[in-house]
Amino acid sequence: MRPTSVHNQEAFSSQSETLLQIQNLKTYYPVKGGFFKRTVGHVKAVDNISFEIKKGETLGLVGESGCGKSTAGRTILRLLKPTEGSILFDGKDITKISGKHLREIRQDMQMVFQDPYASLNPMQMVGDIIAEPIYNFHKKSKSELKNEVMDLLEKVGLPPDAYYKYAHEFSGGQRQRIGIARALALRPKLIIADEPVSALDVSVQSQVLNLLKDLQEEFDLTFLFIAHDLSVVKHMSDRIGVMYLGNMVEISDKNSLYAEPLHPYTQALISAIPNPDPRHKKERIILTGDVPSPINPPAGCPFHPRCPMAMEECSKSKPTLKEVKPSHRVACHLY
């Protein structure tokens, strides 16, 4: 069952178990340079983040491009190798596993990608695209496989004849449905959706969001929902983490986050969303400048060069996540 109200949710999360626990996760990409292509520095894409996701919950990750949210998602799936830290999935430490064990665990975690045009093989029939994960892990007869795929097609709202078609014959929204069917094929416990709707029109976007919510209820799924659109994340998530330059700056349940954002970056991010209501023109906090390079992140708080409330302390020491209100943690020296 999915929690509906905050009240419910608190009661729910205290009983339920944690599906995913991330501790001090770091993912650095080496920067090669010079004559011998030595490593001359690191892009600190994910720089020490910790969070957990409960079973049946949706955690939203937001932030601007380059803040490390996709890298975080990919590291959790172990598509990338974490530099430091640990990933506990369903009670097992999957930080360092490889080979057979990693393959085993991948059944339980699947990904829905951003670009529905690039993430489907154009040479493969849709039926084969969806059947491939099942075929990979289970010995099944052809007819069993086909039945299962047909079932999945129906679940994601595609007609049965989609089985024999190719990806290019579908619109963006339909392709995303194919991607979702493929992710669902192995009945995973966790689905990481990396910007699943940002390539789609609003009218189609809402179809896909509704579908994801329905499937979550039906299959008891846990989502890590990565997006840059705060209103979409709010619609989908139970809890939300805000990332900036590889760091988690605030994490909270969604109502608390939107009602009272604590971190100056979250405040600016929320105020920057254009409000689809011409009568409510709000005061904007306009940030100056751009996100700094993650190769040379600023010392102290990563946000301090753009922060309207920066103090002397902010350039010296890096704030850590503190619980300021119940289930609302923020990394900022103001608190």
Partner 1 sequence: MSANKSSLKEAPMLEVKNLETAFDIDGTFYNAVDNVSFKVKPRQIVGVVGESGCGKSVMSLSVMQLLPKGIGKIKAGEIVFDGINLEKMTEAQINKIRGKDISMIFQEPMTSLNPVFTIGYQLEEVLFNHMKISKKEARQKSIALLKSVGISRPEKIVDEYPHQLSGGMRQRVMIAIAIACQPKLLIADEPTTALDVTVQAQILELLKSIQEVNDMSVILITHDLGVVAEMCDEVIVMYAGKIVERTDVETLFYNPKHPYTTLLLGAVPKMEQEEERLSSIQGIVPSLTNMLKVGCRFANRCPKAMPECLTTTPILAETDYGHEVACLLYETSKPREGVR
Q: Which residues bind partner 1 (CB under 8 A)?
A: 4, 64-65, 171, 173, 201-207, 209-210, 213, 228-232, 234-235, 258, 268-279, 281, 284, 286-288, 290-291
Closest C-alpha among 274, 250, 253, 251 to residue 263: 250
Give 145 or 211: the residue with its C-beta nearer to partner 1: 211
Q: Which is nearer to partner 1, 89 or 303 (CB)?
A: 303
Least gap, CB of 265 to partner 1 (angstroms):
9
Smallest separation, CB 232 to partner 1 (Å): 6
Q: How far is the CB of 277 from partner 1 (least distance, A)?
A: 6
Which residue stretches of 58-171 are H helix?
A: 69-76, 99-106, 126-137, 142-155
Closer residue to partner 1 (CB): 6 or 186 = 6
Which tokens belong to 135? 């075929």
Return the number of the residue (143 or 288) whose C-beta is nearest partner 1.
Answer: 288
**What is the helix (H) or strand (E) element at residue 190, kind and residue range?**
strand 190-194
State the Cα–Cα distance between residues 193 and 191, nearest whole angstrom.
Answer: 6
Asked if 259 and 7 count as a contact pair (C-beta separation under 8 A), the reply is no
Nearest distance in Å: CB 223, partner 1: 16
282: left (phi over 0), alpha (psi -120 to 50) or beta: beta
Least spacing, CB of residue 122 vs partner 1, in Å: 19
- Token digits of residue 119: 């993430």
Report the residue number, 81 or 282, with the smaller CB distance to partner 1. 282
Beta strands in 63-189 (DSSP E): 84-89, 92-93, 109-112
What DSSP state is assigned to residue 66? T
Minimal distance, residue 75 CB to partner 1, in Å:
22
Nearer to partner 1, 130 or 227 (CB): 227
Task: Map tokens 């084969």 to a residue.
Answer: 128
**For residue 197, which of 226, 218, 158, 220 has the smallest C-alpha distance?**
226
Angle, CA of 193, 77 and 226, to the nearest 5° = 25
